Amino acid sequence: MKITIEKLITVDESGMPKAPSVRQLLDKDVLSLYSRDNTPDKRRYIAECGVIYYLGDPKSPARQKGLSDAECLKEAIENFNLNSDYKPDDLVLRIVHKYYEQNITKAGVTIENLQRALHLTDLVCNKVLDVLNTKLRSGILEADIPTLMTSIDGVTKRIEDIPKLSKALTQAYENLRDEEESQTARGGVAILSSMDADEDF
């Protein structure tokens, strides 16, 4: 069975965390992660499951924004109140890897790459524009103009690429839906999207 956040963390009627599902506990790494937290409320386990979700699930809020691993981890640390210097150990990273491999699809890989490309393009364009603005405000020499114009042309071209990337991302989502419908038709079982945004965590 796939590792999923819905099965890693469940709560009882009082809101207290319960053990992961039996099938999840058959994974020795999940069992180790759960067993090593001796606190009554399993706060550490829940927080580390949050890290696993943010880093390993293609539909996590962080992954949906095209963030890097480091950026995903930063958001997880903030969201789950971990120490700012928290680093996932080998056990957590093994589960992250398994989670990702079990839940990503071919179309999902394309979506993830396009999301990253959009995120990085946005970061780079904003940085270049900030640098250009600073340079222009500080005064420029006539000799600087050709270099500045080249930089402006370059960042403009990158900005013009954003709608193309967005269109490709829309097409990739359509491909993902087709991929899932094909799997459903072959297996007769509904396949949940591995890349749809999940806001219910």
pLDDT in tens, 131-170: 888 888 888 878 878 888 888 888 888 888 888 888 887 8
Mean pLDDT of 104-120: 78
pLDDT of residue 186: 59
> Hey, what amino acid is at 195?
M
Instruction: Please report, for residues 91, 153, 177, the alpha-carbon distance to residue 190 in angstroms, rounded to integers and kept in the order given.
Output: 31, 48, 11
pLDDT of residue 154: 87
CA-wise closest residue to 27 among 103, 94, 90: 94
pLDDT of residue 192: 45
Q: How confident is the model at residue 184 (pLDDT cuts 50, 70, 90)?
A: low
Q: What is the pLDDT of residues 53-96, one digit of tens each?
A: 999 998 899 998 888 999 999 999 999 999 999 999 999 999 99
pLDDT of residue 94: 96
pLDDT of residue 115: 80
Across the chain, mean pLDDT equals 83
CA-wise closest residue to 54 among 87, 80, 21: 80
Which of the residue ranges 10-24, 34-48, 162-176, 183-197 has the most confident prediction, judged by mean pLDDT? Answer: 34-48
Using CA of residue 104, residue 22, residue 199, residue 80, what is the dihedral sign? negative
The answer to whether the beta carbons of residues 155 and 128 sit under 8 Å apart is yes
User: Between these two residues, 32 and 21, which has the higher pLDDT value?
Assistant: 32
pLDDT of residue 136: 82
- The yes-or-no verdict on residue 122 having pLDDT over 60 is yes
Integer Cα distance of 45 and 92 in angstroms: 10
Q: What is the pLDDT of residues 162-176, one digit of tens each?
A: 888 888 878 777 877
The answer to whether the beta carbons of residues 51 and 92 sit under 8 Å apart is yes
